[in-house]
Amino acid sequence: MKIDVLSLFPEMFEGVLHSSIMKKAQEQQAASFKVTDFRDYSTNKHKKVDDYPYGGGAGMVLKPEPLFAAVEAVTKTSSSKPRVILMCPQGERFTQKKAEELAKEQHLVFICGHYEGYDERIREHLVTDEISLGDFVLTGGEVASMAIIDSVVRLLPDVLGNNQSAVHDSFSTGILEHPQYTRPATFNGLEVPPVLLSGNHAEIEKWREEQAFLRTAQRRPELLQEAPLTDHQKELYQQWIQKRD
């Protein structure tokens, strides 16, 4: 997968894209990253990329020319139609399902704004997706794009040491992940659940399924309205509702 990022602050990406799983993805040639300062595509002699909004108002608006030119430059050799993603609080809220969708693409382009907003022609005629991390505002799109890139790249084949790791992550199955324990079995008088030490894999899987469901019901009950529940989980749901009420 090829990933291009358009930002006025490319130095922000150095540590993130060259460490941990992102570094491994590049070493395995599962993904390549390039961060471009779209100020380089400004036609203004002062390299200005923003201007005052027509009609007045606070703040500055990113101009269309440098972003259109930057996207054209990074996509002109693309072998497939790239997804051009605008990081914006007005966009679709990012989910694991969206990460899985983007992980199937060959080329992603992220546009990171850093001012009051974008010229509307960028939204209407340049991008394919507008994405938001949630109902809050960040200084710019850089931090949000880093989070999305991380969540997408870790889904690429063989990037994680165990391909099942991503499959069982929270939200991948529609519900939160079950509790995890490791050695020692006893710590400060706190015990690991006996079933996990039993060696009975069927019982362990049953316990994990139940715990994952109960954790979701307690912490994020709204997820259960859309999750594809098994018959056993539906039974647990009814039991939980009765106990709660």
Specify the domain boundaries for CATH 3.40.1280.10 within the chain.
2-153
Residue 167: alpha-carbon gap to chain centroid:
15
CA 115 from chain centre, in angstroms, equals 22
- Closest C-alpha among 139, 106, 113, 104 to residue 4: 106
What CATH architecture applies to the domain 2-153? 3-Layer(aba) Sandwich (3.40)
- Our answer to whether residue 169 is catalytic in this structure is yes
Q: Is 90 exceeded by the pLDDT of residue 208? A: yes
- Which is nearest to 78 in space by CA: 122, 119, 128? 128
Ligand-binding annotation for 8, yes or no, is no
**Residue 220 bears catalytic tag:** no
Catalytic entry in 10, 64, 89, 179: 89
Residue 164 has pLDDT above 90, yes or no: no
Q: Is 113 annotated as a binding residue?
A: yes
> What pTM did the predictor assign?
0.86
| CA-CA-CA-CA torsion sign (152, 99, 210, 243) | positive
pLDDT at 231: 87
245 is catalytic: no
User: Where are the domain boundaries for CATH 1.10.1270.20 in the chain?
Assistant: 186-244
For the residues 94-117, what does the mean pLDDT come to? 94
109: Cβ–Cβ under 8 A, 6 or more apart, which residues?
Answer: 3, 4, 5, 6, 71, 74, 75, 82, 83, 84, 85
Confidence of residue 240 (pLDDT cuts 50, 70, 90): confident
Q: Out of 65, 130, 169, 209, pick the active-site residue.
A: 169
Taking residues 8-24, what's their average pLDDT? 96
Annotated catalytic residue 221: no
Which entry of 65, 116, 150, 210 is annotated as an active-site residue?
116
The response to whether 15 counts as a known ligand-binding position is: no
Class for domain 186-244, per CATH? mainly alpha
> How confident is the model over 165-185, as pLDDT tens digits?
555 455 667 788 999 999 999
Report the mean per-residue pLDDT for the chain. Answer: 92
